[in-house]
Structures are given as C-alpha cells and as structure tokens.
Amino acid sequence: MRTPSSPRIMSVLLLVVGALLLPGPPAVADSRESRLQRDLDALRDLGVTGALARLETDVGAETVRSGVAELETARPVPEDPFLRAGSVTKTFVATVVLQLVAEGRLSLSDSVERWLPGVVTGNGNDGRRITVRQLLRQTSGLHDYAGDIYPTLTTPEDYRRNRWRTARPDELVATAMRHAPAEQTWAYSNTNYVLAGMLIRSVTGQDWTTEVQERIVGPLRLRHTTTPGTWPFLPHPHAHNYQQWTPGGPLVDTTIAVRALDSGADGSIVSTAEDLNDFIAALIGGRLLPAAQLADMRSLVDIPSDPRGHTGYGLGLYYHPLPCGGGSWTHGGNGFGYNVEVVASDDGSRRLTVAEFSRSFDPATEDVRAAARRTLIERALCD
C-alpha cells in the first residue's frame, strides 16, 4: 500500500483518527428503560427495602433493580433472584385442572363432592352444591382458612414462634369448615385452591406438585421454578423479605416462610422473574391449554370495587383494563414481607414480573405502594 504524502491528505486522516479517539456525546438512554427504572425507584422511595422488575417483549428483555437485598449489608438486589411466587401458584394449579378437563378426566361442572366425598361439609357447607368451576373462579362461598391463621401472627414474636408449624391440606379445609359459607359471589378464598390441589390428587393419583412439575415446569424448562412444600428456605441468590407490623415500626426479617400458609396449592411455588414471565407467556400464548380451556380460563366474573383496579376474575387469572386500551392478564402473590405480580398483555406480546421484598401491615401504606405498582405496570405494558 502506498503511504500518502500530501499534507492535505495527512491532515484529513488526523482529523478522522482524532474524531474516533475523542469521546462522543453520551448515549441517550432508551425512554422505556429509564422510565421503568424511575418507576421502580419511586416504589422504593415509598419505603420498600428492595424491588425488581423484569419486562419482556418480542424484541428483548429488560431487568431493573432498586434498593437493597439485605438491610444489614446493603448489598444490591440480585439480577435474577429466587422469589416466593405466593398466590401466582393458583394460576399454575388452575392450568393443571384445565388440562385434566381437556383430557376428559373431569368436568368443570363436576361437584366437589364427586371427587372429594365428605370433605366439604358441616355448618352449612355442602360439597354437592359447589362445582370445580366455582373453586377456580373463587365463587364457592367457602371461608378463607387464612383468616383463622393470620390473627395468630400479630407480632414478630408470633411469627417467629409459629412459622415452623405445618398443616395438612385436609386440616386447612377443616379449619374453613368451622365457618358457615357466604353467598356464592366472588370472594377470594385460599381454601378454594387447597381443595383444587386435593382434587388433582384424587383425579390423577399424584400430588399437585408432581403434576405441575410434569405438565408445566418440565415442558417449559422453568429451571428455577420449584414446588418446595414445607421447606421454608429460599435458594440462593435471593433478597431478604421484611415485614413491618406497625406504622413506623421495625422491619423484621421474614425470609423464612410461614409453613402453614406457604406450603400448599394456594401459594407455595418459588420461582424467578424470568421463569414467571415464560410461564405467563406460554399460558396466554396458548401453549399450555387448548383454545376451549383457555377461553374458559379467560371467562370472567365481575370483581366489586377491587383496590388494585382488576375488574374481573377468570379461572386463576385476573383481568386488568389498561389506559391505552385493551387489558392485561395477571395474578399476584403476597405473604410476610413480599409482593409479586406477574402480568401479560392481552396478546402476550409484553410480559412483566414485579417483585417487592418488604410489606407493611398498615393499609394506607400498602394502598400507596399498590398505586405506584399499578402505575409501573400500566406504563410498561402501554409503551
């Protein structure tokens, strides 16, 4: 190659090289990404110790974190921590039941008594008058057993003393049977999904956890999703969960599960944001259920004055209208020290999991945080 000898040519070359070496203007951050981070930071600024959001679209994924994973060390929230999915478990369980319906092994119109004879009885409760559909849709009228357990956990000392106790599914149902049923309109009751888990065993001969693993977790390769039963510890990496019992009171580490509440078909799955997004994408995208059963799942009953803005409940899924039009399909989960919500747009093109690693028993505090979470979700799905 001939070396340039013209001074003019050399000057041009020096200018080009200099331009390549000098730092250019700072890159403009993607507006959606910066907004998602800002919205998560706003949630943290409301007193949440740590939070994470993972948004996925057909063109990529974005994970943002805010706050800390552990107050004592101030280490950051891990990039893909294990999470307690809580009542998102109900969506997994409803999916298994609907798969059994598709296989002709039971019907949504079957009575609970047919599959669980003598289990729902006493104080006006009658399993002959409750269908499988009503269990999944939360319209059975059955008392929520959790309402009997939470009053025994009113202080941090109660939590530490009682978190190790276990309760079998039939014991939890028996607790609910001490109460007369309510009207068969929509009312959230964990008892419905404890019974759904028992029903799965009656139909298949296998525990609901095995069916979830074989039918959903394995085929979707959800490698970080487990059904731990009464095992109360989170795998690493994870953020610590913190519960605040009184307004302005101390934050108490509640990372260890309350086994009587967190071990069953109503709320025990442990997962990650990435796995939960993959699950909701497969479900809404029709990869887990035939069209008829997915339509059943998305057939809604009205929810009166829901503070989260959800307007309907299907079979293990909430419906939430979006300000930009259309709506989203979602289920949340919470427990001592955590909130998780998994959301998909109506066509499944956007999936989002939001996790918070602390909670307060102060309703006013939680209402403000719920509003901030709703803003984050709506902006992420409407972009």
pLDDT category at 383 given cuts 50, 70, 90 is confident
Average pLDDT over residues 235-259: 97
Please report whether residue 6 resides in a domain: no
- 71 has a pLDDT exceeding 90: yes
Pairing of strands 358-360, 242-244: parallel
Spatial CB neighbours of 341, under 8 Å, sequence gap ≥ 6: 330, 331, 332, 333, 353, 354, 373, 377
Please report whether residue 321 resides in a domain: yes
pLDDT value, residue 263: 94
Domain count, the chain: 1
Residues 296-309: tens digit of each pLDDT: 999 999 998 787 88
Average pLDDT, rounded, for the chain: 91
Please report whether residue 262 resides in a domain: yes
Q: What letters, b where the CB count within 10 A reaches 16 and e where it falls short, cover 129-140? A: bbbbbbbbbbbb
Residues 327-355: tens digit of each pLDDT: 999 999 999 999 999 999 999 999 999 99
Please report whether residue 4 resides in a domain: no
Please report whether residue 18 resides in a domain: no
- 16 has a pLDDT exceeding 70: no
Domain housing 328? 31-382
In the residue annotation, 31 being an active-site residue is answered as no
Average pLDDT over residues 270-282: 98
- 3 has a pLDDT exceeding 80: no
Judge whether 140 and 125 are in contact, CB under 8 Å. no
Please report whether residue 346 resides in a domain: yes
Please report whether residue 100 resides in a domain: yes
Residues 80-111: tens digit of each pLDDT: 999 999 999 999 999 999 999 999 999 999 99
- 27 has a pLDDT exceeding 80: no
pLDDT category at 369 given cuts 50, 70, 90 is very high
Average pLDDT over residues 244-273: 96
pLDDT value, residue 20: 34
Task: Look at residues 376, 353, 357 and name the one whose alpha carbon lies nearest to residue 54.
Answer: 353
Average pLDDT over residues 262-269: 97
Judge whether 368 and 32 are in contact, CB under 8 Å. no
Please report whether residue 157 resides in a domain: yes
pLDDT value, residue 10: 33
Q: 250: burial class by Cβ within 10 Å (0-12, 13-18, 19+)?
A: exposed
Spatial CB neighbours of 185, under 8 Å, sequence gap ≥ 6: 139, 141
pLDDT value, residue 8: 37
Average pLDDT over residues 258-271: 96
Percent of the chain with pLDDT over 90: 88
Return the minimum-mean-pLDDT range out of 27-31, 174-178, 225-229. Answer: 27-31
pLDDT value, residue 267: 97
pLDDT category at 9 given cuts 50, 70, 90 is very low
Distance CA 318, CA 30 (A): 30
State both tokens at 201. 């065993």
pLDDT value, residue 18: 37
Distance CA 375, CA 362 (A): 20
Which is the catalytic residue, given 66, 87, 111, 345?
87
Q: Is the pTM value of this prediction over 0.75?
A: yes
* 3-state SS, residue 143: coil
Percent of the chain with pLDDT over 70: 91
pLDDT value, residue 304: 81
pLDDT category at 115 given cuts 50, 70, 90 is very high
Return the minimum-mean-pLDDT range out of 26-30, 41-45, 268-272. Answer: 26-30
CATH number at residue 365: 3.40.710.10
Between 211 and 17, the more confident residue is 211
